């Protein structure tokens, strides 16, 4: 693998310990994937922020890198294990909070922006068409590749951090145009809202098996729907990119030979919804996976029609979106009605089971997938409208 003089110097430790470790990680990765060289990146997004996922060994590794490591590009962070301001109210223990703050201090010492969101593109880290980036967080990766037309592989937390520290990533995979073409064509049924898009993603992810799908039959898709689709696809199929005919920026790239064609009907989505329902009374109603946009907060407020919630209800957002909602008075109105607008975290990366939650109702197929498989929770999936009714009346 070709390395420039500067990259060689990083590898030899001439720019310090952190850059050396980072370059070792990237070279190892590049060799595994036969990358011919490194390329510069414009931004990084780093997962592996919650103490729940990192543990002691993770904290020590990040603290060690933070001694002399400084990032070279705009770098943002994935959600942490708690709301940085409301952690006590959430029921987070002091011990967990102290460990979490240690992690945050180490990351910020490296020059990383403490955004704590899986929607960096709604919080100031928004690459454009053709930008090479190194992002971890599967839902953000699929959104960046598919909707924004930026170029990133599905990085893990360590490789994204290594790229941030060096400003480089190995040139392979989705950084190369030929690898961004579709291999499976999926004709979608009529889709009504973000819930249908999430179910489409759930079903298609399993059918795509890591290949890039092109969706046909989708008339229009808004930002909320696109993030729901991508998050679900990335969860069930490890998919890092999709195209939608006429809607996404690179859908016209010619496909591979022997494209598989799949026709999905309403019945397939209905079956998926049944599969994703455990038929339980939820302890928590959760909206915001991936983190909700300002528009989603407004939609929830409008659908509440002034009614207070009777069940524990969280909407998770980035601090950027929360600040905007405070300025517009939306945050205050939601909180007055009993909805908790939680920042910096989500029920998957927070120690939710320790907080007494055993079941969740949500409109996110990604949240369902991870709540079941990681946290062993019981699940109910439903449309946003139904979740709001559940929150105010107690059933749907
Ligand atoms: Fe974000 Fe948590 Fe969902 S990190 S994508 S809200 S699982």
3-state helix, strand, coil in the chain (%, to 5): 45, 15, 40
Tell me whether residue 131 is exposed, middle or buried, using C-beta atoms within 10 angstroms of its C-beta: 0 to 12, 13 to 18, 19 or more.
middle
Q: Ligand 1 pocket: which of 290, 351, 369 to mutate (most atoms <8 Å of CB)?
A: 290
Domains 5-176 and 276-393 share a fold: yes
Note the pLDDT tens digit of each residue in 214-261: 999 999 999 999 999 999 999 999 999 999 999 999 999 988 889 999
Number of neighbours of residue 85 by Cβ within 10 angstroms: 12
Determine the atom of ligand 1 nearest the C-alpha atom of 364. Answer: 3
Handedness of CA 27, 181, 230, 203 (dihedral sign): negative
In a 3-state reduction of DSSP, which class is residue 40? strand
Class of CATH domain 276-393: alpha beta
Q: Whose CA is nearest to atom 2 of ligand 1?
A: 346
According to DSSP, the residues that pair with 244 across neighbouring strands are 215
In a 3-state reduction of DSSP, which class is residue 130? coil
CA–centroid distance, 228 to ligand 1, in Å, is: 11
Contact assessment for residue 367 and residue 360, using Cβ atoms and an 8 Å cutoff: yes
Q: What CA–CA distance (Å, rounded) separates 65 from 359?
A: 38
Determine the atom of ligand 1 nearest the C-alpha atom of 288. Answer: 6
According to DSSP, the residues that pair with 132 across neighbouring strands are 151
Note the pLDDT tens digit of each residue in 161-188: 999 999 999 999 999 999 999 999 999 9
Q: Whose CA is nearest to atom 4 of ligand 1?
A: 118
Q: What is the mean pLDDT of each run of 10 residues along the chain (396 residues)?
A: 98 98 98 98 97 96 98 98 96 97 98 98 97 97 98 98 98 97 97 96 95 97 97 96 98 91 98 93 95 97 97 96 98 98 96 93 95 92 93 72
Determine the atom of ligand 1 nearest the C-alpha atom of 349. Answer: 2
Query: Is 118 a pocket residue for ligand 1 (Cβ < 6 Å)?
Result: yes
Residue for token pair 């400084």: 70
pLDDT confidence of residue 14: 98
Q: What phi and psi, each to the nearest 5 degrees, are found at residue 186? A: -120, 115
pLDDT confidence of residue 393: 84
Please name which of 235, 238, 277 lies closest in space to residue 362, comparing C-alpha atoms.
277
CA–centroid distance, 121 to ligand 1, in Å, is: 14
Interacting residues of 203 by C-beta distance below 8 A, sequence separation 6+: 236, 264, 268, 269, 272
Nearest 5 degrees, angle CA 214-CA 217-CA 218? 85
Kindly state the tokens that stand for 265: 């009907």
CA–centroid distance, 271 to ligand 1, in Å, is: 24
End-to-end CA distance of the chain: 57
CA–centroid distance, 299 to ligand 1, in Å, is: 20
Determine the atom of ligand 1 nearest the C-alpha atom of 370. Answer: 7
Please name which of 140, 129, 224, 244 lies closest in space to residue 182, comparing C-alpha atoms.
244
Number of neighbours of residue 379 by Cβ within 10 angstroms: 20
pLDDT confidence of residue 394: 62
CA–centroid distance, 7 to ligand 1, in Å, is: 34
What would be the CATH architecture of the domain defined by 5-176?
2-Layer Sandwich (3.30)
According to DSSP, the residues that pair with 381 across neighbouring strands are 362
Longest dimension (CA), the chain: 65
pLDDT confidence of residue 257: 86
CA–centroid distance, 135 to ligand 1, in Å, is: 14
Please name which of 351, 194, 361 lies closest in space to residue 276, comparing C-alpha atoms.
361
CA–centroid distance, 79 to ligand 1, in Å, is: 7
Q: What CA–CA distance (Å, rounded) separates 127 from 372?
A: 32
Query: Is 289 a pocket residue for ligand 1 (Cβ < 6 Å)?
Result: yes
Kindly state the tokens that stand for 245: 């005919």
Query: Is 368 a pocket residue for ligand 1 (Cβ < 6 Å)?
Result: no
pLDDT confidence of residue 395: 52
Determine the atom of ligand 1 nearest the C-alpha atom of 138. Answer: 5
Q: What CA–CA distance (Å, rounded) separates 198 from 41?
A: 30
For the chain, which residues make up each domain, given as ranges? Answer: 5-176, 181-272, 276-393
pLDDT confidence of residue 256: 86
CA–centroid distance, 166 to ligand 1, in Å, is: 27
Q: Whose CA is nearest to atom 1 of ligand 1?
A: 290
**E strand spans, the chain:** 38-40, 43-46, 74-77, 134-135, 168-170, 184-187, 213-216, 243-244, 260-263, 284-292, 313-317, 340-343, 359-362, 378-381
According to DSSP, the residues that pair with 386 across neighbouring strands are none
Determine the atom of ligand 1 nearest the C-alpha atom of 290. Answer: 5
Determine the atom of ligand 1 nearest the C-alpha atom of 47. Answer: 4
């Amino acid at each position: 693998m070709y390395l420039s003089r500067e990259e060689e110097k990083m590898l030899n430790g001439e720019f310090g310990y952190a850059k050396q470790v980072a370059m070792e990680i990237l070279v190892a990765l590049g060799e595994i994937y036969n990358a011919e060289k490194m390329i510069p990146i414009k931004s990084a997004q780093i997962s592996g922020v919650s103490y729940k996922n990192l543990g002691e060994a993770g904290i020590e590794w990040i603290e060690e890198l933070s001694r002399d490591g400084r990032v070279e590009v705009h770098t943002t962070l994935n959600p942490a294990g708690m709301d940085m301001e409301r952690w006590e109210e959430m029921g987070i223990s002091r011990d967990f909070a102290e460990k979490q703050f240690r992690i945050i201090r180490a990351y910020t010492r490296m020059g990383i922006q403490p955004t704590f969101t899986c929607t960096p593109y709604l919080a100031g880290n928004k690459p454009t068409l053709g930008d090479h980036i190194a992002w971890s967080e599967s839902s953000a990766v699929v959104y960046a590749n598919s909707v924004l037309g930026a170029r990133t592989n599905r990085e893990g937390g360590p490789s994204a951090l290594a790229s941030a520290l060096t400003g480089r990533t190995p040139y392979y995979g989705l950084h190369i145009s030929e690898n961004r073409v579709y291999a499976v064509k999926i004709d979608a049924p009529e889709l009504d809202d973000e819930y249908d898009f999430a179910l489409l993603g759930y079903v298609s992810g399993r059918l795509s098996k890591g290949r890039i799908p092109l969706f046909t039959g989708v008339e229009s898709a808004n930002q909320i729907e696109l993030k729901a689709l991508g998050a679900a696809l990335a969860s069930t199929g490890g998919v890092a990119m999709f195209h939608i005919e006429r809607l996404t920026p690179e859908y016209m790239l010619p496909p591979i030979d022997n494209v598989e064609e799949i026709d999905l009907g309403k019945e397939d989505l209905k079956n998926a919804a049944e599969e994703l329902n455990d038929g339980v009374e939820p302890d928590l109603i959760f909206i915001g996976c991936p983190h909700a946009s300002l528009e989603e907060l407004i939609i929830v407020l409008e659908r509440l029609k002034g009614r207070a919630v009777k069940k524990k209800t969280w909407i998770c957002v980035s601090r950027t979106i929360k600040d905007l909602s405070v300025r517009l008075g939306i945050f205050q109105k939601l909180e007055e009605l009993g909805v908790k607008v939680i920042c910096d975290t989500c029920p998957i990366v927070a120690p939710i089971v320790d907080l007494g939650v055993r079941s969740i109702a949500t409109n996110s197929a990604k949240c369902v997938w991870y709540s079941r498989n990681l946290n062993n929770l019981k699940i109910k999936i439903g449309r946003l409208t139904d979740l709001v009714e559940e929150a105010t009346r107690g059933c749907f």
